[in-house]
Amino acid sequence: MQAASSQAPAGALVGIGWRQPHYEALLEQRPGLGFIEVHSENFFADGGATLAVLDAGREAYRVSLHGVGLGLGSAAGLDDWHLERLARLVQRVQPDWVSDHASFARVGSGLHAADLLPIPFTDESLALLVRHVEQVQQRLGRRMLVENISAYVGWAGDTLAEPEFFNELTRRSGCGLLLDVNNLFVNARNDGHAPEAAAREAMRWVDAIRPGSVGEIHLAGHCERPDGLVIDDHGSRVRDEVWRAYAHAVGRFGPVPALIEWDTSLPELDVLLAEAGRARALQP
């Protein structure tokens, strides 16, 4: 199955997260996008209308499969059923990118938290994550991307800085980094930095990452609660400070694929396309 590259402007590598309310509009309008991204777990069924829609999307666009459930950092190990379902989906769709998060979800005898829980940045945690990423890549027969997460709690005793942790992960496993710029900003805000200072912290994080290791960039909106906590809710336009951090990342890493991620309070499709256009305009 081959995506139709004629739908995207020459050189454009900007996409949107394709969610159910926009299935029909996207297929009817065929806007100029570099790719579309879907959550892998939504398409694990053996057949049916949902999988048929994804097949139609794949005929029109490049596809990125973005997972939220592998639990790559789980000490309990990976779920064999989940990995096999992902492998079947990859075989069917032949996506351009496959990704998941540097987080844990599985504990004990198989309890799944259904969340992206933060992992410690230690040598032991790194070795575990490398082992699981290698396991996934071997089963899929391809390189995967691993995303940095927004975290609202941390672990005592971290021995590695987060960028150093990801540099070692990509070097040892051969995977790529899915760089979520909004997550960098959200984490810096929750560390007590004002918006402008948080943008500078995100840029410093970017500067510490090995060039060539970033395979995709995510952009999203966030919300600020009355108590000051900043939540990565993917429910609004990208903030100006995040755009500045993105422009800095593009200057360092070049025009890697970039995604507008919007999962809650979904607007009309045209709003996502406008955000994608802004991201495209910042690429060289």
pLDDT digits (tens, 9 = 90+) for 25-80: 999 999 999 999 999 999 999 889 999 999 999 999 999 999 999 999 998 899 99
Cβ(16)–Cβ(36) under 8 Å?
yes
- Nearest one of 150, 139, 141, 127 to 73, comparing CA atoms: 127
* H/E stretch holding 138: helix 123-140
Reply yes or no on whether the pLDDT at 8 is more than 70. no
Cβ atoms within 10 A of the Cβ of 252, count? 12
Contact 93, 65 (CB under 8 A): yes
* DSSP type of residue 8: S
**What Cα–Cα distance (Å) separates residue 153 from each residue in 74, 81, 144, 181, 190?**
17, 29, 26, 19, 10
**Which class is domain 5-281?**
alpha beta
**Per the structure block, which two tokens stand in for 170?**
């990509």
Question: Could you give phi then psi for residue 257, rounded to 5 degrees?
Answer: -55, 135
Model confidence band, residue 116 (pLDDT cutoffs 50, 70, 90): confident
List, as own/partner pairs, every contact residues 77-80 make where C-beta atoms lie below 8 angstroms and the sequence separation is at least 24, other chains included: 77/106, 77/132, 78/106, 78/132, 78/135, 78/136, 79/106, 79/110, 79/112
Q: For residue 164, what is the enclosing H or E element? A: helix 162-173
Per-residue pLDDT at 155 exceeds 80: no
pLDDT tens, position by position, 220-256: 999 999 988 999 999 999 999 999 999 999 999 998 9
pLDDT at 156: 82
The CA distances from residue 39 to 24, 102, 256, in Å, are: 17, 16, 20
At residue 151 the predicted structure's pLDDT band, cuts being 50, 70 and 90, is: confident
Q: Where are the domains of the chain?
A: 5-281
CA distances from 103 to 100, 115, 120 (A): 9, 9, 9
| Six-digit token string for 206 | 């970017």
Residue 140 is predicted with a pLDDT of 98
Task: List the single range of 70-79, 166-175, 259-268 with lowest mean pLDDT.
Answer: 70-79
**Bridge pairing between strands 230-231 and 223-224:** antiparallel
CA 49 to CA 282: how far, in whole Å? 37
Mean pLDDT throughout 102-126? 78
pLDDT > 80? residue 89: yes
Phi, psi of 253 (to 5 degrees): -105, -10
Give the per-residue pLDDT at 112: 59
pLDDT above 60: residue 11: no
pTM: 0.92
In percent, the amount of the chain with pLDDT more than 70 equals 92
**Cα–Cα–Cα angle for 222, 116, 196, rounded to 5 degrees:** 30
- Half-sphere exposure in the Cβ direction for 61 (13 Å, CA): 30
Grouping H, G, I as helix, E, B as strand and the rest as coil, residue 64 is: strand
176 or 110: whose pLDDT is higher? 176
Q: Which residues contact 50 (CB under 8 A, 6 or more apart)?
A: 42, 43
